[in-house]
Amino acid sequence: MRLSQKEQKALRTYELLMPAGAPGGSGYTDPVIRFFALHLPGMLNFSLQDLLKHRRPNVASLSVHPAGHFFAVGHVDGSIAFWAVEDDEQPLMVRTLDEVDVHKVDGEKLEQYLPDDEDHPRRTSTHHESREPIFKLAWSGYPNSYDPRGGETSLVILGGQFGHDPPGINVLWLSAFNPPAPPSAATDRSLHPFFRDAMQESLDPQSAYSYRTPGLVQDFLLMPRDSPHFAGTWNPTTILMLFDGGENVRAIEARQFPPLEFLACAQQKLNLSPLLWSGSDAIVDASLFLLDRISYETLSRSSEHRLDDLPLEGGVSVPDENVASTIKYAKVGPG
């Protein structure tokens, strides 16, 4: 539900409605359906009602895209629904970790679970595997794009796995949402179809990664580089994972974030100062050097450059005389 603090009323209500016959997060291997189909065929019509009726899976988590135009909602059946803020009629996409469009009916798969007649249900060899609910979501943006509107994003997902999957946390690396102006005038719809298509394209994962842990993950926390905004998920550098350590104890592990696999595929444009393009100060040659961590962090933290600029700074090989004289008379004491 979207509320107006000024008017103190609801502006929009977003509700995921699974059509009759759609698999949802549970898929077409619902345990109730399979049990009755194999053991109690006389009650098959009753058991099929969960699949052959509209369903409204409860909400378990929510996270907003860094641009603020759409958001993701995690449900207890293991599905994730993506909504545009300006369109509460239908979601942009509904998916699980490994399947998309789970809010649409797949006639071929559905037919496998429908009986030939009331007395002879079809038997299927598909084994049921239940999904976890989507316990938590975190949507992160990064200042690594030459486009001021933003670049690629990452969506961290806790839950939604099958019982046999190795414990851990999954991350999707999503495309940038940077659409140009729409080609036509505004329509009667609240969301222009051009922007809706652009949002859907940005939800197509470029890559995926799984942080594996020794035990079942109970929670996670992203550590931002320098900004507390966006619920602490903007430009994170570390992910802390709390998991079951065995014998009634919990353990915590810190890993680099985002994964190096994502950074390798991300295209980053570094901006040079116009003064370095031509003239006496123009760059005519370049070399790549390996720096130790302290030197690199000192260089990258320079406040004289924007985050998307390439810092090019030099130095002197001998101490500055003014600094040297100050150090000479400095007194070091406790505290």
Higher pLDDT, 127 or 108: 108
260 or 137, higher pLDDT? 137
> What's the pLDDT tens digit per position in 52-76?
788 889 999 999 999 889 999 999 9
- 239, 246 in Cβ contact below 8 A? no
Mean pLDDT check: name the lowest of 74-78, 102-106, 316-320: 316-320
What mean pLDDT, rounded, does the chain reach? 77
State how far Cα 28 lies from the chain centre: 26
CA-CA distance, 169 to 161, in Å (whole number)? 9
**How many angstroms separate the CA atoms of 112 and 29, rounded?**
10
Element (H, E) at 294: helix 293-300
pLDDT at 13 over 70: yes
pLDDT at 211 over 90: yes
Yes or no: say if 158 and 219 are a contact pair by the CB < 8 Å rule: yes
Q: Which residues pair with 282 in a beta bridge?
A: none
Cα–Cα distance measured from residue 39 to residue 173, given in angstroms and rounded to the nearest whole number:
43
pLDDT reading at 42 higher than 50: no
- Give the distance from CA 96 to its chain's centroid: 12
pTM: 0.70
Contact, 202 vs 176, CB < 8 A?
A: yes
What DSSP string runs through 318-331?
S--HHHHHHHHT--
Burial of 319 (0-12, 13-18, 19+ CB in 10 A): exposed
333 alpha-carbon distance from chain centroid: 49
Q: Give the long-range contacts of residues 244-251, CB within 8 A, separation 24 or more.
A: 244/167, 244/215, 244/216, 244/218, 245/214, 245/215, 246/214, 246/215, 250/218, 251/214, 251/215
Nearest 10 degrees: Cα torsion 19, 24, 26, 30? 30
